[in-house]
Structure 1
Amino acid sequence: MPVIKILPHPEYAPQGTEIQATPGHSICEILLENHIEIEHACDMSCACTTCHVIVRQGLESLNEAEEEEEDLLDRAWGLEPQSRLSCQTIVAQKDLTIEIPRYTINHAKENH
């Protein structure tokens, strides 16, 4: 079973953490199942950028971003070439290292 290493984030994982991932599930689903309450204001419908992550290792193992995701990513805070929307990024068999950006474009957090 692959492992997702989450780099330190002041709110979601202050010390960083590693979690077991279920292949075939989105990064967002896996984070939420493991009590890492990443923002997902659109309820994972690919309509916002609040679940933006940067894949630091393992990007090549993930599903390709579709045009809708790429268009939305243009609005994400801290966009990098390895940026993905975690709700659209499906985990395969390879370990991943991700960074959750410190900020989102969301002015008020949703209560999920």
Structure 2
Amino acid sequence: MAKRITLEPIAQESSVKTNDNLLSMLLRHELNVQWKCGGRGRCSTCHVYIREGVESLSPKSRRELKTLALISNCEENSRLACQARVLGEGVIVELPAGMYLSEIDDLDSLIGKRVQQPILHPINGTVLVEGGRVITRTLVCQLKEALVQIDQLLAHA
């Protein structure tokens, strides 16, 4: 039986089969979500927040808890979309608003340009660059350093 899920901030509703994970639904809708580890709960790139209905999802596994512990801003309502299986109704999932740093092919091409949407950390979804900010050479260097750190973290996950 299908369960209804609400996606914020896009105010879109979707349905998910009972016991399917949130990631499958997000990918089906081609939404802005990463999944670097292939859905094994090891990388936290599919991190989302559950604004309502956390009790309608499967409990967090030991693997998910360990991976979420790597995220410094992890909250009680944090989940990995690949690990959260839908069991009931009334789930509201908050998606990150912006573009993941890992989605940008050529950072140098951004120098001197104003970003239209926030640039997000690909693991925890935190905002690295606010929308509307002009990208400087120094900022590009910082973003490149962040990518190296992210790659190192994922290699150890």
Q: Could you tell me the TM-score, scaled by structure 1's length?
A: 0.79
* Equivalent residue, structure 1, for 2:50: 55
* Equivalent residue, structure 2, for 1:105: 123
Select the structure of larger CA radius of gyration: 2
Deviation at residue 46 of structure 1 after TM alignment: 1.2
* Equivalent residue, structure 1, for 2:4: 3
SS of the residue corresponding to residue 2 of structure 1 reads strand
Superposed CA offset, 1:24-60 (max 9, x none): 1100011111222411111101110100011111101
Structure 1 segment 22-101 matched on structure 2, within 5 A: 22-76=17-71, 78-101=73-96
Percentage of matched positions with identical amino acids: 28
Q: Which amino acid aligns with 2:4?
A: V
Higher RCO structure, 1 or 2 (CA under 8 Å, sep 6+): 1
Superposed CA offset, 1:43-100 (max 9, x none): 1011101000111111012111111110110223642111110100001131210112
SS of the residue corresponding to residue 42 of structure 2 reads coil
Q: Which amino acid aligns with 1:20?
A: S
- Contact 1:49-1:72 within 8 A present in 2 as well: yes
Structure with the bigger percentage of helix: 2
Task: For 2:96 and 2:30, locate their aligned partners in 1 and report how far apart those are by CA, in whole Å.
Answer: 17
Task: For 2:72 and 2:3, locate their aligned partners in 1 and report how far apart those are by CA, in whole Å.
Answer: 28
Q: Extract unaligned runs of 5+ from structure 2.
A: 98-119, 125-146, 151-157
Task: For 2:16 and 2:72, locate their aligned partners in 1 and report how far apart those are by CA, in whole Å.
Answer: 26
Q: Could you tell me the TM-score, scaled by structure 2's length?
A: 0.58
Aligned length: 102
Q: Which runs of 4+ in 1 moved over 6 A?
A: none
Q: Extract unaligned runs of 5+ from structure 1.
A: 9-14
- Residue 16 of structure 1: which of 11, 18, 21 is its match? 11
Moved more, 44-53 or 73-82: 73-82
